[in-house]
Structure 1
Amino acid sequence: MFEHLFAPIQIRDMELKNRIIMPAMGTRMADEKGFVTDKLIAYHAARAKGGCGLNIVEVAAVHTPSAPAHFVSISEDCYIAGHKKLTDAIHANGGKASIQLWQGSIAACMDPKAQMLVVSEMNFGGHTIPAITKEQIQEVIACYGKAAARAVEAGYDCLEFHLAHNYLPHSFLSGGLNHRSDEYGGNFENRSRFPLEVIDEIRKNMPEGMPLFIRIDAQDDMLEGGMTIDDTIRFCKLAKEHGVDVLDVSRGNIITAASMYEVPPIDVPNGFNIENAAKIRKETGMLTIGVGRINTAKLANELIENDRVDMVVMGRAQLADPEFANKACEGRIDEIVHCVGCNQGCYDGFTDVMHRPHITCMRNPMIGHESEYLMETTQAPKNVWVIGGGVGGMEAAQVLQARGHKVTLFEASNELGGEFLLAGEAPGKAEMKQAAMEMAQQTERLVTVHKNTKVDAQMIQNANVDAVIVAVGSSPIMIQLEGMDMLPHASATEILRHEVCPKGHVAVIGGGLVGLETADTLASDGCKVTILEMKDAIGSDLGSLRKISVMMKMHQLHVDMRPNSQVCKFTSEGIVLKDGSFVACDSAVFAVGFKANDSQELVEACEEKNIPCHIIGDAKKARRAIDAIAEGFEVARTL
């Protein structure tokens, strides 16, 4: 199945067993000094064991002074032994290993102790950072060569040079970032000088038969004076002459809204960058990797079959399911846990250095714990009830079943999926609804499910059950206001499900994620929409990249967004705000959040019978799906 995706490919002396690439996604799993940890080894080994053709170890710092804490480093000889353990683990599990040689420029700011090297003088955080000197340029070039030699000694099968995302090499290449007046700036030839010198230095420190990849942006989006796709093609032809074999064609930068293209959220179309990659491939004649929300085997196979690209990056697809490649190859498509581009665990988890030690995944809480959370069969099987069929309840049920417990799941409605299904009703989020439906089908194949069944205290009293997991979710908050009988109104849930379809001018009360998606639904249906948010910011509960995408959509739909707008009362002609101002509208929608459903009766019934009872997800407190799934997983893992 998917024969094009699983066809081998020869690159110099390296043969990959298939065309699936695990890209160099930052994990923050290295230790504070950049040493490879057992956690990182287990993470990569799991994807190699899962059938991935090539694992690229992420953003490995080549220059010690500018190496951020918890980023992988290969800037000194002391790191070689750890990398050797990592490549050995990948090889032992049937994969091939690459490493991405990286100098992060302003991205080093994630560690205040790391030096920031910039191509041209720039103001950053209220401070002026001087441009990198010629002496430092030569120092960094030499560091790339030494890092390449270390990577060869550590047993990597190929190397990748990171030349994208306005890290230092891309900053030199791009006219939108490089404003130097010496031989490293100005015209295209001068701007190309530094990255080509780096390529030469890397190439001379690796065997002739070892492939060299570069990760490069197809173009500079939203960056005045930046690289066009024709500039990129021109550079790639030069890179080919200097010994580069493969183009890993990405997109985005970290100083404009185009950062959303680096880790594209669900709002960005699947395969959005493929046409760029295909054009670059055609013009250069080079092996090319397609990148950009390729999260199904069907899409990946079609891209290769249709001769658009030679290989595909499937990063978050393998975060969500480390067995993705094996399942796809064996035709077990209905078992795959698909990425939905939520960005909650991968990107938001990576940047949230205060609250998360490393990345995670909404759909896979095992990330970073592959060697710790062994799903061992229980020696004491229990009869467990899971009350509630949202994603938290389904996760708990599946993990319990995998461990050998007898599981019965009860859902009060006629379908599994809970609020995840609702989230998938918003425009552009069909993947989320599909994922909820897939998870429901997987759950129903594994455990006993009773739909349209509301569990009460009497059922628990009469049951022979050893443990109960309460996952009864949450319900929309409906606030009471003066004059509510004078203006038509509905809940966000009713709008998203198209149970209520207002016309004309609609005011959405609440500017969080649900309010924004409700506004999207209404505006897409032709309504004039105003969002009223009492806080001083709209979309404060969105991750940074989703927020960029959603806000762009709001502007495209001409949605009027008004922060600091607390609703006071309704009239027959609109809404009066606390400051006395008036918003004329034909109807209103409440999107002010959700509250946990009452589970006290169930908890008390369990207490009376001394049945261990665990409350998870929104039933504990209304939050995000990543919290519900993580809690369902943790309770089931330890029960």
Structure 2
Amino acid sequence: MFDKLFSPFTVKDMELKNRVVLPAMGTKFSGKTRNVTPTLIDYHVARVRGGSGLNIVEVCSIHTPSAPKGYLSISEDMYIPGLQRLTEAIHKAGGKAGLQLWQGSLAVGMDPDAQILLASDMEMSPGVTLPGISGEMIEEIIASYGKAAGRAVKAGFDCVEFHCAHNYLPHSFLSGGINHRTDEYGGSFENRAKFPLACIWAIRANIPEGMPLFMRIDAHDDYLENGLTIEDVITFCKLAKEAGVDVLDISRGNILTAGLKYEVPPVDIPHGFNIANAARIRRETGMTTIGVGRINTPELAEKILEEDQVDLVVIGRAQLADPEFCNKAKAGKTEEINYCVGCNQGCYDGFENKESLHITCLRNPAVGREAECKIVPTKKPEKVLIAGGGIAGLEAAIILKQRGHSPILCEASDRLGGQFLTAGEAPRKEEMKKAVISMGKKAERIGVDIRINTKVTGEMIQEMKPHTVINAIGAQPVIPPIPGVEQDFVIDSHAVLNGKSTGTGNIVVIGGGMVGMEVAEYLAEKGAKVTVLEMMKEFCADMGSTRKICVTENIRAAGITPVTEVKVTEIKKGVVIGEKHGDTVEFPCDAAVIAVGARKRDGSELKEACDRIGCGYFEVGDAVKARRAINATREAFDIAMLLD
């Protein structure tokens, strides 16, 4: 099945078993070091065994003073042994290994000890400007690329990739939107191209002729004045080909503008959004090309390849969500794949969080814990009662059943899915709805005892006498004590998204967090004129940066009016009254929607019943505290793995 996707492909002396590329995604698996760790090895081996054709190891620093902690480095010989252990493990598992050579420019600023190298002077804040690098430093970096490439050969990599995108240093030199130099490395396109071309020549001179050299490059610059056009990129790719590049890896995005949304595109961005660009660049350069951009189903990957748009496809976050993605797709078991939903909660939002140890995944809590999270049969099967059929309850039930326990999943409503299903009703979030429906079908398929319209009570627990009870009953909308909130024209956001309440005409949404903005979009799509009131100085404050960019843009496009720093004080018939900067403000409306958050449901009856009969009791997800879905799946998974 998917014959084109799983057909072999050869680039110079490197033979790939299929056309699937695991891209160089940052992981933080090196911890506070810059070395390969067993965690990183386990992560890559799991995906090679899962069928990945080529694993490109994440951004790897080529220059010691500018190498940030927590990222791999190949800037010194001392890093070769660790990288060699990684390539040996990948090869032993049947895969091929590439290494991405990287100088991060502004992005290394996450480590205060790393030297920030810029293509030209950049104002960081009023009165503070960082200088562009000197000609002497340019030569040092070029030489560092060459030496790093030589070390990659010694470490056993099958190919190397030159990172010339995402406003890292080579891209920053190439782009007129970033490079404002006035010397021989700035100004004209030819001058701006000198530095990245010199880096390519240095890399090519230090690797064997038969070793493929990849280049990751943006199709064009997004939201960047005087940035690269696709015509500029095509011209440069032709020059890069002459300098020794064999394969183009066509990406998008930069960290200076809203173009960030294309680097790790969330659910809001269409599938395959960058393929047309890659196809054009391939057509006009005649080069082997990799397509990138939310390719997370085998059907889409096969279609792109069958249409001869690109030669290889990046399937990245889809292999985070399910390391067995390739094997399942090849075997035709597409219903068994745990699909990426583009939430960005673990792979990017967590990566931005300085407190986060490493990336993870809402759909796959085992990311970064591959060795310790292998599903092994229990030696003592037990009856486990799960209260709540949302994403946490389903995750627990599936893992427990796979381990040989006997989970009984009870859902008080007439459908599985909980708040994740509700979230899937919001604009552009259909994938989330599909994912949780698929989880329900999987639980049923593998034999979980599912009982809908069944509320777990203390009496049920006493009669059933399970070994363990998992409380996954979730949260319910908070209804604040605002005078007038009890009126009929005041409705809650969950009721709106679930289709139980509707609003037309002028609608005021009270609460400008993620749920408030999503319900605002939902209502605007149905023709309502929507105003959103938020107490804080900004709306969407609880969203990760990439989703926030997308939702903000869509809010503006939909004509929704967000008003910040408003405290709602009263709701009267036809008007919401608030206070802003000490003044009274009024917002006429036909309906008001409450979207100020959620509060955990009371599970005290369940806990007390468990205490009476001496059975185990755990709370997971929103039953602990209303949070993000990634917390729910992680806790449910861990508890299901904990039971012996």
Q: What's the TM-score bracket when you normalise by the shorter of the two chains? A: over 0.9
- Percent identical pairs in the alignment equals 55
After TM superposition, the structure 1 stretch with the greater mean CA deviation from structure 2, 163-172 or 24-33, is 24-33
Does 2:609 match 1:605?
A: yes
Give the TM-score of the pair, scaled to structure 2. 0.98
Give the TM-score of the pair, scaled to structure 1. 0.98
Report what 1:619 is aligned to: 623
Report what 1:78 is aligned to: 78
Residues 158 and 514 (structure 1 numbering): CA distance in 2 closer, same or farther, change over 3 Å? Answer: same
Specify the SS of the correspondent of 2:599: strand
Say whether the 8 Å CA contact 1:487–1:570 is kept in structure 2.
Answer: no
Structure-1 separation of matches of 2:488 and 2:436: 35
Say whether the 8 Å CA contact 1:218–1:229 is kept in structure 2.
Answer: yes
Report what 2:591 is aligned to: 587
Say whether the 8 Å CA contact 1:399–1:637 is kept in structure 2.
Answer: yes
Structure-1 separation of matches of 2:141 and 2:473: 56
Structure 1 residue 485 displacement after superposition: 6.0
Say whether the 8 Å CA contact 2:31–2:357 is kept in structure 1.
Answer: no
Structure-2 separation of matches of 1:495 and 1:457: 31
Say whether the 8 Å CA contact 1:121–1:130 is kept in structure 2.
Answer: yes
Structure-2 separation of matches of 1:525 and 1:381: 50
Structure 1 residue 32 displacement after superposition: 2.3
Report what 1:24 is aligned to: 24
Structure 1 residue 416 displacement after superposition: 1.3
Residues 153 and 546 (structure 1 numbering): CA distance in 2 closer, same or farther, change over 3 Å? Answer: same
Structure-2 separation of matches of 1:372 and 1:315: 22
Structure-2 separation of matches of 1:177 and 1:598: 54
Does 2:387 match 1:387?
A: yes
Instruction: State how 1:118-129 maps to structure 2 within 5 Å.
Output: 118-125=118-125, 127-129=128-130
Specify the SS of the correspondent of 1:428: coil
Report what 2:211 is aligned to: 210
Specify the SS of the correspondent of 1:299: helix
Specify the SS of the correspondent of 2:345: coil
Say whether the 8 Å CA contact 1:427–1:517 is kept in structure 2.
Answer: yes
Structure-1 separation of matches of 2:536 and 2:525: 25
Structure-2 separation of matches of 1:38 and 1:224: 43
Letter in 2 for 1:194: F
Specify the SS of the correspondent of 2:408: strand
Say whether the 8 Å CA contact 2:388–2:409 is kept in structure 1.
Answer: yes
Instruction: State how 1:499-578 maps to structure 2 within 5 Å.
Output: 499-578=500-579
Structure-1 separation of matches of 2:311 and 2:263: 20
Structure-2 separation of matches of 1:491 and 1:556: 24
Instruction: State how 1:314-463 maps to structure 2 within 5 Å.
Output: 314-354=315-355, 356-446=356-446, 447-463=448-464
Residues 484 and 415 (structure 1 numbering): CA distance in 2 closer, same or farther, change over 3 Å? Answer: closer
After TM superposition, the structure 1 stretch with the greater mean CA deviation from structure 2, 455-464 or 240-249, is 455-464
Say whether the 8 Å CA contact 1:487–1:572 is kept in structure 2.
Answer: no
Does 2:499 match 1:498?
A: yes
Report what 1:236 is aligned to: 237
Paired positions, count: 638
Specify the SS of the correspondent of 1:337: coil
Say whether the 8 Å CA contact 2:465–2:615 is kept in structure 1.
Answer: no
After TM superposition, the structure 1 stretch with the greater mean CA deviation from structure 2, 118-127 or 161-170, is 118-127
Report what 2:96 is aligned to: 96
Letter in 1 for 2:74: I
Report what 1:633 is aligned to: 637
Does 2:296 match 1:295?
A: yes
Structure 1 residue 500 displacement after superposition: 2.3
Structure 1 residue 481 displacement after superposition: 2.9
Report what 1:57 is aligned to: 57
Say whether the 8 Å CA contact 1:250–1:273 is kept in structure 2.
Answer: yes
Report what 1:167 is aligned to: 168
Q: How big is each residue's C-alpha offset from its partner over 1:520-544, in whole Å with a ceiling of 9 and x where there is no partner? A: 0111111111101122221111011
After TM superposition, the structure 1 stretch with the greater mean CA deviation from structure 2, 367-376 or 230-239, is 367-376
Structure-2 separation of matches of 1:558 and 1:497: 23
Structure-1 separation of matches of 2:486 and 2:544: 36
Structure-1 separation of matches of 2:95 and 2:370: 17
Does 2:109 match 1:109?
A: yes
Report what 1:9 is aligned to: 9
Say whether the 8 Å CA contact 2:508–2:533 is kept in structure 1.
Answer: yes
Say whether the 8 Å CA contact 1:487–1:586 is kept in structure 2.
Answer: no
After TM superposition, the structure 1 stretch with the greater mean CA deviation from structure 2, 22-31 or 96-105, is 22-31
Structure-2 separation of matches of 1:465 and 1:31: 40
Letter in 2 for 1:601: E
Structure 1 residue 128 displacement after superposition: 1.6
Specify the SS of the correspondent of 2:10: strand
After TM superposition, the structure 1 stretch with the greater mean CA deviation from structure 2, 456-465 or 130-139, is 456-465
Letter in 2 for 1:265: P
Structure-2 separation of matches of 1:613 and 1:88: 44
Structure 1 residue 486 displacement after superposition: 5.9
Q: How big is each residue's C-alpha offset from its partner over 1:82-135, in whole Å with a ceiling of 9 and x where there is no partner? A: 000000111111110000000000001010000000000111255321111111
Say whether the 8 Å CA contact 1:473–1:622 is kept in structure 2.
Answer: yes
Structure 1 residue 482 displacement after superposition: 2.3
Q: How big is each residue's C-alpha offset from its partner over 1:281-324, in whole Å with a ceiling of 9 and x where there is no partner? A: 11111111111111101001100001111111111000000110
Structure-2 separation of matches of 1:481 and 1:31: 47
5+ residue gaps, structure 1, are: none
Say whether the 8 Å CA contact 1:487–1:571 is kept in structure 2.
Answer: no
Moved over 6 A (4+): none
Q: How big is each residue's C-alpha offset from its partner over 1:460-502, in whole Å with a ceiling of 9 and x where there is no partner? A: 1111411111101111122343234667121111221233222
Specify the SS of the correspondent of 2:372: coil
Structure-1 separation of matches of 2:291 and 2:65: 33
Report what 2:140 is aligned to: 139
Specify the SS of the correspondent of 1:530: strand
Specify the SS of the correspondent of 1:345: helix
After TM superposition, the structure 1 stretch with the greater mean CA deviation from structure 2, 121-130 or 46-55, is 121-130
Letter in 2 for 1:617: G
Report what 1:222 is aligned to: 223
Structure 1 residue 562 displacement after superposition: 0.9
5+ residue gaps, structure 2, are: none
Q: How big is each residue's C-alpha offset from its partner over 1:369-403, in whole Å with a ceiling of 9 and x where there is no partner? A: 11222322222221111111111111111111222
Structure-1 separation of matches of 2:165 and 2:524: 36
Specify the SS of the correspondent of 2:173: helix
Structure-2 separation of matches of 1:417 and 1:90: 37
Structure-2 separation of matches of 1:547 and 1:188: 34
Structure-2 separation of matches of 1:169 and 1:519: 41
Say whether the 8 Å CA contact 2:41–2:86 is kept in structure 1.
Answer: yes
Structure-2 separation of matches of 1:307 and 1:486: 59
Say whether the 8 Å CA contact 1:528–1:559 is kept in structure 2.
Answer: yes
Q: How big is each residue's C-alpha offset from its partner over 1:241-271, in whole Å with a ceiling of 9 and x where there is no partner? A: 1111111000000010100100001011111
Structure-2 separation of matches of 1:483 and 1:550: 30
Structure-1 separation of matches of 2:483 and 2:37: 59
Say whether the 8 Å CA contact 1:87–1:154 is kept in structure 2.
Answer: yes
Structure-2 separation of matches of 1:624 and 1:177: 36
